[in-house]
């Protein structure tokens, strides 16, 4: 037993002796350290390269996963009348768009029942939708613009991968057809294409502000990184128009347009003291909120784009020119019997044998004015026309306004000299005629017209274009036109009115046709003029053709409303002397 224990101890002793003893090998140790430090050095070099020398690529890759641009939408500027009544506003709507690639990848493209439902709610053909989304390489296509919130919510409820809804704005015009041609309209991209919307598009337009933000994996904004683009807020515009007068004027114009079956009617009302246009209306008009029924000829603002031969409405200006160039005087008597100029016979619709300048204007004698014009240098008449704003751009800043046509010739025929005396051979727009009568009303001081509201310090002083004494006498003469001449239907109870009728044939190829243009231009109160108004009825088919008949009653209706709304006191007969206007009595 003892021998056995001894033998086991001997074996254990041998095993301990045979166990290898570690040997330190210096070169191996150094080699290992070399590779360890080499690896660490490589890591530090790579880290320095990434962090200090070339960090941009990884930063970019990180930003691509977390940094986003957010747009802050801003709306197009409002258009209001002079009292703050909204004429054009932007309302929020939705746009439905598609990412065809996502749509095809999700397999939703093959579901025709889905497209049928979508087509019905959007109100477009199913084939049209399928055509838009057919190309799987496209990444963006509009399906429908300017849809309502309820339609947008329904489309969201369909949960179609690749079909999305985003916010946008649509222009709305609260006053509808009343201001349609003046205010104009915008297109689907919210850019002006007619009227004030187009003329002042740069000022009204807005651009969204863009901000850089960092988002987490759940799409939440965790950091604001700054502004990329500050954007532009749409500027507001305050027009000189008074919506109350605009509505009254349009109601009168529209009713007469339908009653007289005219081709068109225009009316322009001006504040004589400031040159601001308080009303500018046309018929026919259109509803700017229904783009599907948009017709270009209805959108034209005829008050600034269309021209007409003014007829007898320019006789006072011709008379002023004759008086200032000392061709005649108020007392000279003219033979007003018909006479011949070469093969043409000049005649009157209101026959009289003779008369002075006041009678010629009161009864609108073409013969009398032709005889005066034949004594003049026609270029003197043209110069006076230009001084009063005829043949000159009204410079309102509106797209489409014309200069009209006032002839400038080195040689004039006798018939051209005669006819320019009673308003033939030239073409002017309604707004130009309104400027001319505002100039007469202000006693010969021409103030530029404005379609924008003016502050007190912006009102122009104006430029004198005619002698004040001559203009005072002319105002009284124009008053007799309404009191007992061709403009009786333009009277306004309680107020003195001064004005002139005009009736001209419509020019056609090779001469004149059978249609007429009837005009009344005037101002009130005659004793201290506040408003000037022009009404032009183009080609009336019923109810007469003369300016006093077709335009005079509308003048009375619109001007009466303006005087009452602005609390202009009725002017009794004795008040004219107080403002220095000479009173002449008929004999």
CB atoms within 10 A of CB 429: 28
SS (HEC) of 532-554: EEEEEEECCCCCCCCHHHHCHHH
- The DSSP 8-state label assigned to residue 137 in this structure reads T
Q: What are phi and psi of 345, to 5 degrees?
A: -105, 125
- Rounded to whole angstroms, the Cα distance separating 318 from 298 reads 34
Distance CA 75, CA 54 (A): 43
* Structure tokens given for 313: 């409405």
First to last CA, the chain: 175
> From its phi and psi, is residue 332 left (phi > 0), alpha (psi between -120 and 50) or beta?
beta
Structure tokens belonging to residue 580? 């220095």
Q: Which among 346, 477, 359, 360 has a CA at the least distance from the CA of 417?
A: 346
Closest of 210, 277, 207 to residue 235, by C-alpha:
207
Helix axes 112-122, 149-158, angle to 10 degrees: 170
The label of the residue with tokens 């619709």 reads 349
> For residues 254-268, b (16+ Cβ closer than 10 Å) or e, as one string?
bebbeebebbbbbbb
Cβ–Cβ contacts within 10 Å for residue 502, how many?
A: 30
Q: Are 136 and 90 a contacting pair, CB within 8 Å?
A: no
Residue with tokens 């649509």: 170
Say how far apart CA 535 and CA 586 lie, in whole Å: 27
Instruction: Provide the annotated active-site residues.
Output: 312
Q: CA quadruple 26, 32, 38, 44: dihedral positive or negative?
A: negative
What's the token pair of residue 147? 């849809």
Helix (H), strand (E) at residue 39: helix 26-48
The Cα–Cα gap between 392 and 401 comes to: 10
DSSP class of 450: B
In angstroms, the CA 26 to CA 532 distance is 114
Place of tokens 């130009």: 432
CA dist 307 and 301 (Å) reads 11
Nearest to 266 by CA among 275, 278, 257: 257
Q: Is the dihedral of CA 425, 431, 436, 437 positive or negative?
A: positive
Cα 559 from Cα 245, distance rounded (Å): 9
């Amino acid at each position: 037993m003892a021998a056995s224990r001894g033998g086991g101890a001997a074996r254990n002793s041998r095993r301990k002796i045979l166990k290898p003893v570690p040997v330190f090998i210096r070169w191996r140790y150094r080699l290992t350290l070399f590779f360890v430090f080499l690896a660490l050095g490589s890591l530090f070099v790579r880290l320095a390269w990434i962090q200090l020398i070339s960090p941009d690529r990884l930063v970019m890759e990180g930003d691509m996963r977390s940094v986003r641009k957010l747009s802050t939408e801003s709306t197009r500027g409002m258009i209001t009348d002079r009292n703050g009544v909204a004429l054009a506003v932007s309302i929020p709507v939705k746009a439905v768009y598609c990412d065809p690639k996502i749509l095809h990848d999700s397999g939703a493209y093959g579901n025709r029942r889905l497209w049928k439902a979508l087509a019905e709610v959007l109100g477009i053909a199913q084939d049209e939708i399928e055509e838009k989304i057919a190309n799987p390489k496209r990444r963006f296509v509009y399906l429908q613009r300017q849809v309502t919130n309820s339609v947008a919510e329904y489309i969201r409820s369909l949960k179609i991968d690749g079909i999305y809804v985003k916010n946008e704005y649509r222009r709305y015009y609260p006053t509808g057809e009343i201001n349609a041609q003046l205010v104009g309209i915008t297109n689907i991209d919210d850019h002006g294409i007619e009227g004030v919307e187009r003329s002042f598009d740069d000022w009204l337009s807005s651009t969204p502000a863009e901000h850089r933000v960092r988002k987490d994996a759940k799409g939440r904004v965790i950091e604001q990184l700054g502004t990329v683009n500050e954007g532009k807020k749409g500027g507001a515009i305050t027009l000189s128009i008074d919506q109350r007068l605009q509505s009254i004027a349009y109601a009168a114009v529209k009713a007469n347009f339908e009653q007289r079956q005219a081709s068109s009617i225009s009316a322009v009302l001006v504040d004589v003291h400031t040159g601001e246009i308080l009303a500018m209306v046309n018929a026919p008009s259109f509803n700017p909120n229904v783009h599907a029924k948009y017709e270009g000829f209805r959108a034209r603002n005829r008050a600034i784009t269309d021209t007409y031969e003014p007829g007898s409405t320019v006789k006072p200006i011709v008379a002023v020119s004759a008086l200032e160039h000392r061709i005649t005087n108020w007392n000279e008597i003219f033979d007003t019997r018909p006479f011949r100029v070469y093969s043409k016979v000049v005649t009157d619709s209101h026959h009289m044998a003779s008369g002075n300048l006041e009678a010629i204007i009161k009864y609108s004698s073409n013969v009398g004015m032709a005889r005066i014009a034949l004594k003049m240098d026609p270029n003197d008449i043209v110069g006076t026309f230009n001084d009063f704003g005829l043949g000159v751009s009204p410079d309102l800043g509106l797209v489409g306004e014309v200069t009209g046509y006032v002839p400038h010739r080195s040689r004039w025929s006798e018939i051209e000299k005669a006819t320019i005396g009673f308003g033939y051979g030239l073409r002017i727009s309604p707004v130009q005629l309104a400027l001319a009568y505002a100039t007469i009303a202000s006693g010969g001081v021409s103030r530029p017209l404005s379609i924008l509201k003016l502050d007190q310090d912006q009102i122009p002083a104006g430029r004198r274009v005619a002698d004040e004494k001559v203009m005072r006498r002319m105002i009284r003469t124009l008053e007799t036109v309404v009191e007992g001449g061709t403009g009786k239907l333009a009277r306004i109870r309680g107020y003195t009115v001064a004005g002139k009728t005009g009736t001209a044939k419509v020019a056609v190829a090779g001469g004149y046709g059978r249609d007429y243009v009837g005009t009344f231009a005037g101002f009130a109160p005659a004793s201290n003029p506040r408003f000037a108004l022009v009404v032009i009825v183009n080609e009336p088919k019923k109810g007469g053709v003369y300016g006093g008949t077709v335009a005079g009653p509308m003048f009375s209706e619109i001007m009466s409303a303006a005087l009452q709304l602005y609390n202009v006191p009725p002017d009794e007969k004795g008040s004219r002397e107080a403002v220095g206007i000479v009173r002449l009595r008929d004999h």
